[in-house]
Chains A and B, each alone.
Chain A
Amino acid sequence: MNYLEHIGKYFMMLGRVFKKPQRFKIFYEALLKEIEDLGLKSLGIIMFISFFIGGVIALQTALNLDSPFIPDSLIGFAAKRSIILEFAPTFCSIILAGKVGSYITSSIGTMRVTEQIDALEVMGINSLNHLVLPKIIATVFFYPFLISLGMFLGIFGGWVSGVLSGLFSGGDYIEGIQTDFNPFLLVYAIIKTLIFAFLIATVPSYHGYYVKGGSIAVGKASTQAVVWTTILIVIANYFLTQMLLT
């Protein structure tokens, strides 16, 4: 199948996903479950990685700006910009594409190969709407919160690393964070997060829903889903940055 066919099939899938849920009670139950599976269960990894990467960004910046003419507050300023603009929205989304993307593809793919999706269709249930829409809503609403937490912990990790290493003072770092604060950068980061969250929910769902074969096919589809979601996040990141910041 060529790329154009995949793109067409992906958008046709979205057409079936965005329908009114057949039973709102069941939809809400599914939505809460997806928020737990796709969001809450990712809190730990995002918090852990954000804290340490934030620390590394601050340390690297401090080590590479070792000049008496450059104020130490620039470390906080640079760390803040790197974390808000790129690390939290893009890097964390790529991590989520791996963790959540493979989970989505393998769970939907297993449902496909074990005929659970056929069972839904036979009952008269729009399986795409039933399975994928709660995932999209859960990621699009929850990931901005997750990424915001990543931003906070990343910046906090930078402060902790400075205080512990003695490379810069906590006061200088906080001064740098407060310097030239532009709220639009947060809006830009959240817009990116929303687009990436949509991709993280839909691209792996596509790969899982249309898988053919058995367990090996599901495994291959999971890998493909992670690869394609990552590629699309990187491409979208480039265009969004150009559109929103230039």
Chain B
Amino acid sequence: MIEVKDLHKGFGNVKVLKGISATFNAGKTSLIIGQSGSGKTVFIKSLIGLHTQESGTISFDGRVNTKFTENEKQQWRQEIGMVFQGSALFDSQTVEDNVMFPLKMFTNQSNAQMLERVNFVLNRVNLPNSNKKLPAELSGGMQKRVAIARAIVMNPKYLFCDEPNSGLDPQTAIVIDKLIQEITEEYKITTVINTHDMNSVMEIGQKIIFLKDGKKAWEGTSEEIFKTDNEAVVDFVYSSNLFKKVREAYLAEKK
């Protein structure tokens, strides 16, 4: 479980996060949604330690990030898996080397053991027989799957995904969403996903946090988000005609 309390972060005079508090539970996919510039990426980068918060606390199963010793921080880093928006695969390395990299870096496993683990996670993300390919030889969806494989190869306790569906067609996006949800439930991982894809919200939004201007404006589930009267959420969710029509149909049915 991850608990965030009164998180503040700014860059110079620009305050980006203005006191966000939230809880993310193990075995659940939690989604951070909001418009571009609302602070989603800064929030997730603060959670994974790429940004240092100005004030507030982030605790991982009771361990507060600002109180980590060097060794604890190193240990915590190995409990984190991250899927970046652009996959962030090492483009000079093959799929196998990309996925094997954390194992080589942090374990004393033999080559055979590492290869077995790599093949297992690649099979888990439905990418068998791609070991020797370079990232440039893969489609966007396949690159995302490799990124997920690399993120879970060390059996992380916490999985973070920054817009995992960006640049993917709707069908592939659903496959990636489902894969993340399955992995989350299967391995009881605490998963936090940044997105502004409403399909993801409907498909896997077990918990949704809506950010606006660096503050938490709303929190609920994928069912609740379609019933809320919160103006900011309604504006965001129903900005597309498709969802407007869905809402009108829902309200008409309710009457």
Q: Identify the A interface with B (CB < 8 A).
A: 22-23, 25-26, 114-116, 118-119, 121-125
Contacts and interface: CB of A to CB of B under 8 A. Distances in A.
A115 B86 contact: yes
Interface in B85-103: 85-86, 88-91, 101-102
A119 B84 contact: yes
Nearest to B45: A118
A122 B80 CA distance: 7
Contacts of A125: 105
A115 B78 CA distance: 18
Given A23-B104, A23-B105, A122 B85 contact: no
Contact of B88 (A23, A25, A118, A124): A118
23 contacts: A23-B104, A23-B105, A26-B104, A26-B105, A114-B88, A114-B91, A115-B84, A115-B86, A115-B88, A116-B89, A116-B91, A118-B50, A118-B82, A118-B84, A119-B84, A121-B49, A122-B48, A122-B50, A122-B77, A122-B80, A123-B77, A124-B73, A124-B77
B78 A124 contact: yes
A124 B50 CA distance: 11
Interface string B211-251: 00000000000000000000000000000000000000000
B102 A114 contact: no
B50 A121 contact: yes
Contacts of A26: 104-105
A122 B102 CA distance: 11
Contacts of A116: 88-91
A122 B84 CA distance: 11
Given A114-B88, A115-B88, A122 B104 contact: no
Given A115-B88, A116-B91, A119-B90, 9 more contacts: A25-B104, A116-B89, A116-B90, A118-B45, A122-B50, A123-B78, A124-B73, A124-B74, A125-B105
B106 A124 contact: yes
A72 B105 CA distance: 61
Contacts of B88: 114-116, 118-119
Contact of B86 (A25, A114, A122): A114
A122 B82 contact: yes
A124 B105 CA distance: 10
A119 B101 CA distance: 11
Interface in B79-131: 80, 82, 84-86, 88-91, 101-102, 104-106
Contacts of B90: 116, 119
A123 to B, nearest CB: 6
Nearest to A23: B105
Nearest to A125: B105
B100 to A, nearest CB: 11
A121 B88 CA distance: 12
A114 B135 CA distance: 13
Contacts of A124: 73-74, 77-78, 106
Most chain B Cβ neighbours within 10 Å, of A22, A116, A122 = A122
Contacts of B80: 122-123
B105 A122 contact: no
Nearest to B74: A124
A187 to B, nearest CB: 37
A235 B50 CA distance: 37
Contacts of A25: 104
Interface string B125-163: 000000000000000000000000000000000000000
A190 to B, nearest CB: 32
Contacts of B85: 115
Contacts of B105: 22-23, 26, 123, 125
Closest 9 CB pairs of A and B: A124-B77, A115-B88, A119-B88, A115-B84, A122-B82, A116-B88, A124-B74, A122-B48, A23-B105
Contacts of B82: 118-119, 122
B42 to A, nearest CB: 13
Contacts of A22: 105
A26 B49 CA distance: 24
A88 to B, nearest CB: 31
Interface string B165-183: 0000000000000000000
Nearest to B81: A122
A115 B86 CA distance: 8
Contacts of A119: 82, 84, 88, 90
A29 B234 CA distance: 54
B80 to A, nearest CB: 6
Contacts of A118: 45, 50, 82, 84, 88
